[in-house]
Amino acid sequence: MSTSERLGGGALFAIAVALFTWSSAYAAIAYALPSFTPGEVALARLLIASLCFAALLVIRRQPLPPVRDWPQLALLGVIGLTTYHVCLNYAETRIASGTASIIISLVPAATAVVSAFWLRERLSLRTWLGLAVALAGTVLVVLASGQRVEADPKALLVLVCVLVSAIFFVGQKPLFARHGTLSVTASTFFAGTLGALPFGWHLPWALAAAPWPHMASLLWLGIAPSFLGYLAWSFAIHRASASRVSSFIYLSPPIAIVIGWLWLHEIPGPMVLVGGVIVIAGVVLANARRRVVPAPAVEVCEQA
């Protein structure tokens, strides 16, 4: 690992693509659920993305990682993709979207903790402070946007999403250094799709009965947030620390509000704007240039 890391233009652009597409996913999921079960939405999303990844692998003539890494890739795919999407979809049928958004915002902190233990990324006090400020801003944005926040046992499913996302983001990084972003990301999606089969095996019949707009929502979920979003995110994580890149997830709620403002004419109130400023300030603080103290042992990953 390099002793100092700065997010370059390519990584920042990739993060922007991922955040924009991911921020649109909440609305697309809600739009598709009247015609599909949560498991069917997860399977369709992963299947469409897998087909896109397979086509890209063929076009670029890029091989899959060696067989010795398939068990780890399969485990990451089932944990980080199958589990995440199935749990999130089921949770959104029972709890308020504001509750889910707040809990999902814990992903950067969880990623930082997992990185510290797994990749030995030592985080400065400034980074932790930035994460805390950004989380406070996210809570303010959700509360001020008029969304109802409530406690529900289904919220535990979103906590599962937080944990598996952190494991997924951090677990891929050493594999990126050995096999490249595309091969690793595609392999996890193939495994995640297979893992989702038991939850959505009625998908063909649901597609036959669903109206076209709901099917278009599934297409958007598979192509934009899943294929483009995850590919862009993996590109960014390959070029910077997992904890630093993941802190940008805090920007997702403000972006979603802007999308609602432009698309649905939902004008955000003053407190929403204040919360958005706090979120951005926290992300800037967490990602300010700093030195990362290397572990005394052998390096865990390499720069590509």
Residue 214's pLDDT is 93
Q: Residue 11 in contact with residue 234, Cβ under 8 Å?
A: no
> Is 229 or 121 the better-scoring residue by pLDDT?
229
Q: Residue 186 in contact with residue 53, Cβ under 8 Å?
A: yes
In a domain, residue 298? The reply is no
Residue 228 binned pLDDT confidence (cut-offs 50, 70, 90) = very high
Q: What is the mean pLDDT of residues 211-216?
A: 94
Q: What's the predicted TM-score (pTM) here?
A: 0.77
State the total domains in the chain: 1
For 260-301, write each residue's pLDDT tens digit. Answer: 677 656 666 777 678 778 877 887 777 665 544 444 433 333
In a domain, residue 301? The reply is no
In a domain, residue 25? The reply is yes
Residue 6's pLDDT is 60
Percent of the chain with pLDDT over 90: 34
Residue 58's pLDDT is 95
For 167-190, write each residue's pLDDT tens digit. Answer: 998 888 888 888 888 899 999 999
| Number of neighbours of residue 212 by Cβ within 10 angstroms | 7
In a domain, residue 304? The reply is no
In a domain, residue 127? The reply is yes
Give the integer Cα–Cα distance in Å for 218 and 241.
32
Residue 3's pLDDT is 35
In a domain, residue 48? The reply is yes
In a domain, residue 294? The reply is no
Q: What string of DSSP letters covers 31-54?
A: HHTTTS-HHHHHHHHHHHHHHHHH
In a domain, residue 219? The reply is yes
Residue 121's pLDDT is 65
| Number of neighbours of residue 272 by Cβ within 10 angstroms | 23
Q: Residue 148 in contact with residue 96, Cβ under 8 Å?
A: yes
Q: What is the mean pLDDT of residues 214-219?
A: 94
Residue 56's pLDDT is 95
Residue 271's pLDDT is 76
Q: What is the mean pLDDT of residues 97-126?
A: 71
For 16-43, write each residue's pLDDT tens digit. Answer: 898 889 888 887 888 898 899 999 999 9
Percent of the chain with pLDDT over 70: 78
Residue 149 binned pLDDT confidence (cut-offs 50, 70, 90) = low
Backbone angles phi, psi at 4, to 5 degrees: -135, 140
The residue segments making up the domain with residue 165 are: 10-287
How high does pLDDT run on average in the chain?
Answer: 80
How far does CA 83 lie from the centroid of its chain? 13
Per-residue burial over 249-263, b if 16 or more Cβ lie within 10 Å, else e, is bbbbbbbbbbbbeee
Closest alpha carbon to 25 in 230, 282, 288, 269: 230
